[in-house]
Structure 1
Amino acid sequence: MSNSAYSMEAQVKVEDLPMTFKVKYIGSEVGRGLWGIKYTRRPVDSLVEAAKNLPPNKVLPFCELTVTLDGVNIEIVMPKTDTRSWSYPIDTISYGVQDLVYTRVFAMIVVKDDNRNPFEVHAFACDNRATTRKLTFALAAAFQDYSRRVKEDAERNNTIAPIQKKFAIDLRDPEEMQGEEEEETEA
């Protein structure tokens, strides 16, 4: 499939939300920056390595990741135990990307109220590249709607839009980002 056909197939509109994806939760690690593949690279490598080295009797938990206009909801059903769930409001997610090395991995950076470690990278394994891409586009649609709502609120209240936390979504194909990653490692 060509890159343009690949991107078109994954397109998600605001009206398509909410969307739920069945994924495996790889885990989370402290991040070192607000947005960019350079800040998800090390945590994703570390999390994937740890997942590959799990004991034979331990597996990554399946979860339902739902992207809504208000944020991301995660529900993990643990075999023989409870269901764990948590949410990240859209204004706390600063970045989302389909990993360029592990193209079935979706990573996102969440900004927390922690002065020492304000950034947290979460990683999820999807069943295929197309699902990962669609998940990335779903978060992009949520970001688009959030941006629109902030602007409308400012206009309605005759105020200047408040200074927003930055957020970004990287919609380039992993192949397109490869050159950027190589430049960063050479620097």
Structure 2
Amino acid sequence: MLSAARLKLTDDESLATFEMDLSAQIWQVKYIGSEVATGLWGIKYTRRPVEILVKVAKSLPVDEALPQCNLKVSTEGVSIDILTPESKARSWKHPIDTISYGVQDLVYTRVFAMIVVKDEQHPHPFEVHAFVCDSRAVTRKLTFALAAAFQDYSRRIKESGEQSKTDNITPQRQKFAIDLRTPEELQEGANEETEA
């Protein structure tokens, strides 16, 4: 299924339309890991966890690499299949209504990070998952794919008049966003916030 999505890409590019195959896209990436986040959405809540995860990844022994994984983005959500040399492959899924934010990191531009919201019984309700892509362009495309999935989910909810099955967990969970600003634009925004 193709869906046209209208998203503001940059100040120089007015609203642009792009088509995204929403049936499912699989990205081959390296999984950096997950870390607790202190907020629901925004670069300010992904930056510190990404810094921690990258620092840990850089300190891995030379003979130990980040695990390869297939990251599948669809209108239903994101599934992660860790591909390990051993027979113990791990996989898990995050439904689209449990992902609150996704972004291409502003410092490590090959890193895609997303915030996943856990249920209210979980001691840390927000968790950042981070992935290293082959290039900055691939990271950007992955971000667009999740944006298209969010947009489709929002459209389906409006059309059906339904509430998300998890809306009873917390009203904040209804918010979700993809930051489509370039890393340079994100940095400018962060600089402006610290000057104010």
How would you bin the TM-score normalised by the shorter chain?
0.7 to 0.9
Partner of 1:150: 157
8 Å CA contact 2:22–2:74 kept in 1: the answer is: no
Which residue is equivalent to 1:62? 68
The 5 A counterparts of 1:78-157 are: 78-113=84-119, 114-154=121-161
The answer for unaligned runs of 5 or more in structure 1 is none
Number of residue pairs the alignment of both structures matches: 177
1:13 aligns to what SS in structure 2? Answer: strand
For residues 62 and 169 of structure 1, the distance between their equivalents in structure 2, rounded to whole angstroms, comes to 24
Identity of aligned residues (%): 64
Q: Comparing both structures, which one devotes a greater share of its residues to strand?
A: 2
What is the deviation of 1:58? 1.0
1:117-150 CA-to-partner distances (Å, cap 9, x unmatched) read 1000000000000000000000000000000010
Partners in 2 of 1:56 and 1:132 — Cα distance?
Answer: 25
Query: What SS does the aligned partner of 2:174 have?
Result: coil
Larger relative contact order (CA 8 Å, sep ≥ 6): 1
For the Cα contact (< 8 Å) 1:22–1:62, is it kept in 2? yes
Change (3 A) 1:168 1:150: same
- 2:101 and 2:26 map into 1 onto residues whose CA distance is 19
More helix by share: 1
Question: In structure 1, which of residues 157, 177, 181 is the aligned counterpart of residue 186 of structure 2?
Answer: 177
Q: TM-score, normalised by structure 2?
A: 0.82
* Cα distance in structure 2, aligned partners of 1:12 and 1:37: 24
